[in-house]
Amino acid sequence: MLSFFLNFAFIYLFKSRKFKDTFDGPQKFHITPTPRIGGLAIILSVFAAALFYHFTISKTDIFYILVSSIPISAAGLAEDVFKKVTPRIRLLAAIVSVLTGSLLLDMILRSIDIPFLDFLFQVNLFAYLFTILAVAGVANSINIIDGYNGLSSVVSILILFALSYVSFELNDELIMIMSFVTIGAVGGFFIWNYPFGKIFLGDGGAYFIGFIIALLSILLVNRHSEVSAWFPLLLVIYPVFETVFSMYRRKILKKSKVEHPDSYHLHQLIYKRVIPFIFDVDRNNKLLRNSATSPFLWLICSFGVIPAVIFWEYTYVLMFFVLLFCILYIWLYKSIVKFQIGKYLK
């Protein structure tokens, strides 16, 4: 509820161009200047609700989670407002958040449930580096898919619902509370973001949500040996594989720098090629095409989330679904690129 009203207040108050998103660049598909500080409303709402639980049920770890999230969230918010925060600084902020989480919460991956590789995680340096890569990767992946109204917010809600379900099954009150608190905050933002795009998530919101998802996933695996390390990977397989595939596409196929943005993400191809074909939408009706794009990606995300929830204890089954998702993603991407998707939709 707080997130809903904060987002409304930001929409009303921040009409100055200084606080609005610009709509140029290869990854911009909205048509009007729009506030991009929805993430600030989410962060403030999560902090308020989490601190309430911290003081009422004496959950010190809740406070530690909030403290750990500050560096990466602050870097994202600074980029939203000033647009001058380099990727290196944002990575440094992610490293500080991970190190803070490791000191306060033991947020370090110690196993990936692959016997001939798990011994590496007994080396602290390797475990820390892998954890930093994983957390920064998840946080950045939520930002990567934040291209259309409702896309990253619903994907995040699906992932958080899965975490809350498994934590409920395991009676893990901390992870369940933080999952539901974040779901509520993201839901309040979603109402204003979808379908009309009155406010955007911004880097701050995407990094914060991604960090919370990564942190809760690591804590769940560390605190409960019965949870496979492949459970959270399958949960986030859509945004993570989107990011990995994009890096491969840019570096290997296009011979360009991986940080250079382009307009060839899966969600962008669906927007440009699939939506006009299915709905016979006027290409000038960008708002309708924008809002019609996200449900397709919600469905794609669910292909990872649903089996993850069903088989959260079974490593080899989860591995199979991770591989299956990657194969289906590549097939779908190639079909759209080669204009073959039409024959499957007729």
pLDDT of residue 285: 81
Going by the annotation, the residues of the binding site for Mg(2+) are 143, 203
| pLDDT interval class at 23 (50, 70, 90) | very low
Read off the amino acid at residue 230.
W
Average pLDDT over every residue of 6-25: 67
Nearest partner of 221 among 170, 179, 256, judged by Cα? 170
Are the C-beta atoms of 177 and 216 separated by less than 8 Å? Answer: no
The mean pLDDT value for 17-45 works out to 69
Annotated binding-site members: 143, 203
Q: Tell me what the mean pLDDT of segment 210-222 comes to.
A: 98
Q: Which of 307, 333, 330, 329 is nearest to 320 (CA)?
A: 307
pLDDT band at 262 (very low <50, low <70, confident <90, very high): confident
CA atoms of 44 and 23, how far apart (whole Å): 26
Q: What is the pLDDT of residues 221-239, one digit of tens each?
A: 999 999 999 999 999 999 9
Residue 260 has pLDDT above 60, yes or no: yes
pLDDT of residue 315: 98
- Please write the tens of the pLDDT for every residue from 37-48: 999 999 999 999
Average pLDDT (111-134) is 94
* pLDDT tens, position by position, 292-312: 999 999 999 999 999 999 999
Instruction: Find the range with the poorest average confidence among 50-64, 80-94, 131-145.
Output: 50-64
Q: What is the pLDDT of residue 290?
A: 94
3-state helix/strand/coil string of the chain? CHHHHHHHHHHHHCCCHHHEECCCCCCCCCCCCEECCHHHHHHHHHHHHHHHHHHHHCCHHHHHHHHHHHHHHHHHHHHHHHCCCCHHHHHHHHHHHHHHHHHHHCCCCCCCCCHHHHHHHHCHHHHHHHHHHHHHHHHHHHHHCCCCCCHHHHHHHHHHHHHHHHHHHCCCHHHHHHHHHHHHHHHHHHHHHCCCCCCCCHHHHHHHHHHHHHHHHHHHHHHCCCCCCHHHHHHCHHHHHHHHHHHHHHHHHCCCCCCCCCCCCHHHHHHHHHHHHHHCCCCCCHHHHHHHHHHHHHHHHHHHHHHHHHCCCCHHHHHHHHHHHHHHHHHHHHHHHCCCHHHHHC
Give yes or no for residue 22 having a pLDDT over 50.
no
pLDDT at 18 over 80: no
Domain count of the fold of the chain: 1
Domain boundaries, position 126: 2-345
Mean model confidence pLDDT for the chain: 91
pLDDT at residue 16 greater than cutoff 50:
yes
Indicate the pTM of the whole model.
Answer: 0.93
Confidence at 17, pLDDT banded by 50, 70, 90: low
Assess whether pLDDT exceeds 80 at residue 198.
Answer: yes
Distance CA 291, CA 344 (A): 22
Confidence band, pLDDT 50/70/90 cuts, at residue 58: low
